[in-house]
Each structure stands twice: as C-alpha cells, then as structure tokens.
Amino acid sequence: MNVIITKDKVEAGKKAFELVEKAIHNDASVLGLATGSTPETLYKEMRASNTDYSNLISINLDEYKGLPADHPQSYHTFMQENLFNAKPFKKSFIPDGLGDEEDEVKRYNKTIEEYPIDLQILGIGTNAHIGFNEPGTSFLQETHVEKLTEATINANKRYFKSEEDVPKYAFSMGIKSILSAKKILLMAFGENKAEAVYNMLNGPITEQVPASILQTHNDVTVIIDEAAASKL
C-alpha cells in the first residue's frame, strides 16, 4: 500500500483531492463515497473546485438502518450537505435506511454490479472497521445489515443527542464489494486511529481487523496525518 503522511487533515484533503482529480482525468466514472468526519476536508476541496461531477456516478458505502433519508444524522443528509448540494452527480446511490432488508440488499448489490467502482474513498473506525464492516465480518460479504459494535456506537454518539439515539444496525456495502473497486483511497486522522492504522498496514490479515484485507488489494493509497501515523 502506498502511504502518504501529511501534517494535518487539511493537507490530507488537498492530497486526496489531487488523487480524485487524477482518477477522473484517467476516466474514472464511478466514485465510491464515504461519510464520517474523515472525508470532510476532501469534500471541501471538491466543493470549492471547478470540477463538474454531473457526468459521474456515486455509490455510498452505508446508511443507518431505521433512519429516514431526511433525518439530520442520516448519511443521505451528510452527503447532501457536504457534497451533493454544491456538486450534484449524474446519479447517487445510498442505501435506503427504511428499505426492506432483503430488497435493499439485492438492489444495492445490483447497483454495484451495474456500476463497478473506479475509486473507493474510505475512512477507518477505531476498531479498523471499513464502511460498517465490523471486526468478525466475513471478507466474502456483499451488502448486508450489520449490527454495530459498542465501540462504533460510542464513537458515533457525538452526532446524536444521546447514545440511545444512535442506530444499532446499518446497511453496509460488504468487504467483497469494497475490494472490487479498481482503486482505493483510505484516509485516517488523529491519535485515536493510530492503532487501527498500524494493524491495517502491519498486522496479520484477519477478519478481526477488517481493514487488514486491504493489504491484498493492488491499488491502495493511504493518506494519514502525523498523529494517525504515530504508531508506525
């Protein structure tokens, strides 16, 4: 994996933006997008750019199960506010949090098959989850409903009024689907990601460390700040 260490997340966002631009220039037409605080600086660069995304397709990694699209903490709302309001895509796909489980899983797998992802943006959880694929999830999983771990609920409660308000389940693209992307760009910032980053890059490849499977992909760039790199 190609590892780039930056001073901070602002510099990382600029570097990530350069890679996104390069991929689009080289004919990437389907972007796999992520939510959470990590991609915010990248999306800021994308919003401020002159690039037109209206011919591209976007496919998001995940959505909380049970949240309507217009809920303030839904990933639909996050994407509208952070990117799509300013930069609409030709088509954008995000799992429907209120969708019937079986239908939604089928629909999403079909979407990923129809629009193979050229460049997948990823963050990483403190327990090394990617998308919402928690430790223990099979590397062979496609889209599914994942039960969130205490660590993830705890990390994400900052966005909700209280811990009880954090959804306990989420629709997530599976690891198999993530690995099918031609290129992967993972970002991580802050001391609390340092151990996950270390395990992803240097640890054994194990379903207990979902991001460790990225060691088997042939085109992964990891952009981290100095704090996230502090255990390397």
Ligand X SMILES: N[C@@H]1[C@@H](O)[C@H](O)[C@@H](COP(=O)(O)O)O[C@@H]1O
Q: Which residues are catalytic?
A: 62, 127, 129, 134
Pick the closer one to ligand X by CB: 143 or 152: 152
Cβ at position 182, least distance to ligand X in Å: 19
80 DSSP 8-state letter: I
DSSP SS3 for 218:
coil
Pick the closer one to ligand X by CB: 19 or 61: 61
Distance CA 43, CA 79 (A): 9
Pick the closer one to ligand X by CB: 64 or 89: 64
Cβ at position 79, least distance to ligand X in Å: 12
How many other C-beta atoms can be found within 10 angstroms of the C-beta atom of residue 45? 18
Cβ at position 125, least distance to ligand X in Å: 5
How many other C-beta atoms can be found within 10 angstroms of the C-beta atom of residue 162? 7
Contacts of 198 (CB under 8 A, 6+ apart): 231, 232
Report CA 30 to chain centroid distance, whole Å. 14
Whose CB is nearest to ligand X? 123
Pick the closer one to ligand X by CB: 90 or 159: 159
Distance CA 144, CA 174 (A): 7
Query: Which residues make up the interface to ligand X (CB under 6 A)?
Result: 34-38, 61-62, 123-125, 131-132, 152, 156
Distance CA 92, CA 26 (A): 21
DSSP SS3 for 181:
coil
Cβ at position 105, least distance to ligand X in Å: 17
Tokens, residue 11: 């510099």
117 DSSP 8-state letter: -
Pick the closer one to ligand X by CB: 27 or 164: 164
Cβ at position 7, least distance to ligand X in Å: 18
Beta strands 220-225 and 2-6, pairing class: parallel
